């Protein structure tokens, strides 16, 4: 096995790290940054961009750009763009592919194995969808781990003292709280809680709405339905929000944001931290309940928590820090970089799984214990959920329970597996079902059917049912609950590979076009420069070559594929290039 990368596939930004020696290092992407925007943009010509370039495109082309796809993982959502349809898994795969490529450039090695993190509160289908995204991107996903667990893993290495810590992770789109116990080389997650729909994006939206309201007040123009203008406003809102984390006031500046009959309108206003706090107070308050739930679930008192770790970019907001300080009654610790520690922890876990750690090193000695985020149950008479595995049970785990029949001489039972905390199955999520048939004829209540739930280290659930009377057994593995069938995944892998080639071809064509256009400009400039000293035949020769190249440039769309077009543009440049070279030598 080669090197294993650790990926924090974030809602807003993603980060990738790798183990170097015995410690994890963040990988700088091709653009020179340590985090990559989780944005994918689909161009009209079929090209797909990811990261910072896609984020810039988002301003011009919001309908063709995907933001915060993580929020849609595991759902039926599909993005339709340019006659193609993309699942959240496929869109995430574009991001993962970029991270993989950046890691390959950074390490100079080919990378296939990865550990990817997900919010602790992600359901089974969301985890599975993340795994599938990795496969589509050409990655072998060794393990899916919870983000706070990864943070604690990174943290635990420096602080091996036995202690209970609370990880408060407020990122771009999700909020997670985890109670973690570090002791004797073991990191154990005692409880998790959170909100999949709360993060920095919501803060941006509040500020953006406020700015749009003020524009309306001042100019009478409603920009809320103008997608392009709102995108710019949201970007400015995020910029101002970040500035307010260190300053008490910031200037909103939006040149030419709208048009009136009198001409373009620019907008400027001063925005204070007090105003920001007022607009976002309820969002900050919403983080309290999950903190209390996690404490209650683990049966841990606030006073027992020795450290509160802040993770995620949004924990830089002063009001967020104030809130956690006041509820926990202690100063939160930020010794880890909030944007990077999750990827660092994932890289450590990757190094461990890949056998890259020095045997006996502190990192190698740490055993990662994770928990199942939601309770798992089967349906019994009356549509009631009978829980086999309680949420926050440490995994891997195996639990069995004996059930029986409800009717006389019942020949079969249907085992329906649910995930969720509600009493009635109709309110929980159906993960899968199967039928155990051939039950021995017996009155109701006599047959003994043992149902066993098995959760592996990735949180993937195996369910089996055994008729103890006959030894008959049936089971299912709940692996493809990500809304994509194996067939669809294979198709997506194939499509992604095709994209890899297409991206390359398009890149070549764009490159060749740029070179050819530059050559034409240079030749035209030389013709002007030498209009008096070059003779007529020489000027005609050059003009003819310019014309030929321009025609090829014009025609390139007619070629069968972009590779053919690129090669034509490339060869059409040769004549003009040679001519200019020969005149330069004279
Ligand atoms: P993450 O997903 O952890 O990368 O967090 C990204 C979120 O953190 C985005 O919503 C950012 O706008 C937000 N963020 C980053 N830096 C700051 C800052 N200095 N102040 C407030 N929010 C920030």
Q: Per the domain annotation, does 217 fall within a domain?
A: yes
CATH number for the domain including 441? 2.60.34.10
Residues 257 and 307 in one domain: no
Residues 51 and 156 in one domain: yes
Q: Is the pLDDT of residue 177 over 80?
A: yes
Residues 43 and 158 in one domain: yes
Q: Which domain, by its residues, includes 431?
A: 374-485
User: Ligand 1 pocket, 14 CB below 6 A?
Assistant: no
Q: Per the domain annotation, does 493 fall within a domain?
A: no
DSSP 32: S
User: Ligand 1 pocket, 317 CB below 6 A?
Assistant: yes
Clarify whether 70 is annotated catalytic: yes
Q: Express each pLDDT in 399-438 by its tens digit.
A: 999 999 888 999 999 999 998 778 888 888 888 888 999 8
Give the closest residue (by CA) to ligand 1 atom 20. 242
Q: Is the pLDDT of residue 185 over 70?
A: no
Q: Residue 386 burial (CB < 10 Å; 0-12/13-18/19+)?
A: middle
Domain boundary among 283, 314, 342: 283
Quote the CA–CA distance of 288 and 177 in Å, as a whole number. Answer: 10
**What pLDDT shows up at residue 507?**
46
The residue from 90, 113, 124, 147 that is catalytic is 147
| Number of domains into which the chain is organized | 4
CATH number for the domain including 224? 3.90.640.10
CATH number for the domain including 563? 1.20.1270
Residues 277 and 357 in one domain: no
Residues 363 and 340 in one domain: yes
Higher pLDDT, 254 or 423: 254
Predicted confidence band of residue 480 (pLDDT cuts 50, 70, 90): very low
Q: Express each pLDDT in 299-318 by its tens digit.
A: 999 999 988 989 999 999 99
Q: Which residues contact 140 (CB under 8 A, 6 or more apart)?
A: 112, 113, 114, 134
Residues 312 and 326 in one domain: yes
Higher pLDDT, 434 or 458: 434
Residues 348 and 290 in one domain: yes
User: Ligand 1 pocket, 172 CB below 6 A?
Assistant: yes
Domain boundary among 321, 341, 371: 371
3-state secondary structure 192-256: EEEECCCCHHHHHHHHHHHHHHHHHHHHCCCCCCCHHHHHHHHHHHHHHHHHCCCCCEEEEEEEE
Residues 18 and 99 in one domain: yes
Residues 268 and 305 in one domain: no
Domain boundary among 241, 259, 283: 283
Q: Per the domain annotation, does 495 fall within a domain?
A: no
Residues 225 and 334 in one domain: no
List own/partner pairs for 286-290 with CB under 8 A and 24 or more apart: 286/175, 286/195, 286/198, 287/168, 287/170, 287/175, 287/177, 287/195, 287/198, 287/320, 287/323, 287/324, 288/323, 288/327, 290/175, 290/176, 290/177, 290/193, 290/194, 290/195
Clarify whether 581 is annotated catalytic: no
Residues 473 and 396 in one domain: yes
Clarify whether 202 is annotated catalytic: no
Clarify whether 282 is annotated catalytic: no
Residues 218 and 335 in one domain: no
């Amino acid at each position: 096995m080669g090197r294993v990368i650790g990926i924090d596939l974030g809602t807003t930004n993603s980060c990738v790290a790798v183990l170097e020696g015995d410690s994890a290092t963040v990988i700088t992407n091709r653009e020179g940054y340590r985090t990559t925007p989780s944005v994918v943009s689909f161009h009209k010509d079929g090209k797909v961009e990811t990261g910072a370039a896609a984020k810039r495109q988002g301003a011009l082309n919001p309908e063709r750009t995907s933001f915060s796809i993580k929020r849609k993982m595991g759902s039926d959502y599909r993005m339709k763009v340019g006659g193609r349809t993309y699942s959240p898994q496929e869109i995430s795969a574009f991001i993962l592919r970029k991270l993989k490529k950046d890691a390959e450039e950074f390490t100079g090695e080919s990378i296939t194995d990865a550990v990817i993190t997900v919010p602790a509160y992600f359901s089974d289908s969301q985890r599975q969808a993340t795994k599938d995204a990795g496969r589509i991107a050409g990655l072998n996903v060794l393990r899916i781990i919870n983000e706070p667990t990864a943070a604690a893993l990174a943290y635990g290495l420096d602080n091996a003292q036995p202690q209970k810590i609370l990880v408060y992770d407020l990122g771009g789109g999700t909020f997670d709280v985890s109670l973690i116990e570090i002791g004797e080389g073991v990191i154990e997650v005692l409880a998790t809680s959170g909100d999949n729909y709360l993060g920095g994006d919501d803060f941006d939206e509040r500020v953006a709405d406020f700015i749009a309201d003020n524009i309306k007040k001042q100019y009478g123009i409603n920009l809320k339905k103008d997608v392009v203008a709102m995108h710019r406003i949201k970007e400015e809102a995020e910029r101002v929000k970040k500035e307010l984390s260190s300053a008490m006031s910031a200037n909103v500046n939006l040149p030419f944001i709208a048009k009136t009959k009198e001409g373009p309108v620019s907008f400027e206003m001063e925005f204070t931290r007090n105003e920001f706090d007022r607009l976002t107070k309820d969002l900050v308050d919403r983080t309290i309940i999950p903190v209390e739930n996690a404490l209650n679930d683990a049966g841990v008192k606030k006073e027992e928590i020795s450290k509160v770790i802040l993770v995620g970019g949004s924990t830089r907001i002063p009001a967020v820090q104030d809130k956690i300080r006041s509820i926990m009654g202690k100063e939160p610790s930020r010794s880890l970089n909030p944007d990077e520690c999750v990827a660092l922890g994932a890289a450590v876990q990757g190094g461990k799984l890949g056998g890259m750690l020095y045997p006996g090193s502190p990192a190698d000695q740490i055993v990662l214990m994770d928990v199942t985020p939601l309770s798992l149950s089967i349906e019994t008479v009356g549509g009631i959920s009978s829980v086999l595995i309680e949420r926050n049970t440490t995994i891997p785990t195996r639990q069995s329970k004996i059930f029986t029949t409800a009717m006389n001489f019942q020949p079969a039972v249907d085992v329906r597996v649910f995930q969720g905390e509600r009493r009635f199955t109709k309110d929980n999520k159906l993960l899968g079902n199967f039928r155990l048939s051939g039950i021995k004829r017996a009155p109701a209540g006599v047959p003994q059917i043992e149902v066993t739930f098995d959760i592996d280290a990735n949180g993937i659930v195996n369910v089996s049912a055994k008729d103890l009377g006959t030894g008959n057994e049936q089971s299912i593995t709940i692996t493809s609950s990500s809304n994509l069938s194996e067939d669809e995944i294979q198709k997506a892998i194939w499509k992604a590979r095709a994209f890899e080639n297409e991206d390359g071809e398009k890149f070549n064509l764009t490159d060749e076009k740029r070179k050819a256009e530059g050559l034409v400009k240079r030749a035209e400039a030389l013709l002007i420069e030498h209009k008096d000293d070059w003779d007529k035949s020489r000027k005609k020769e050059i003009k003819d070559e310019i014309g030929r190249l321009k025609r090829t440039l014009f025609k390139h769309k007619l070629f069968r594929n972009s590779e053919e077009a690129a090669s034509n543009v490339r060869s059409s440049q040769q004549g003009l290039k040679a001519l200019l070279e020969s005149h330069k030598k004279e």
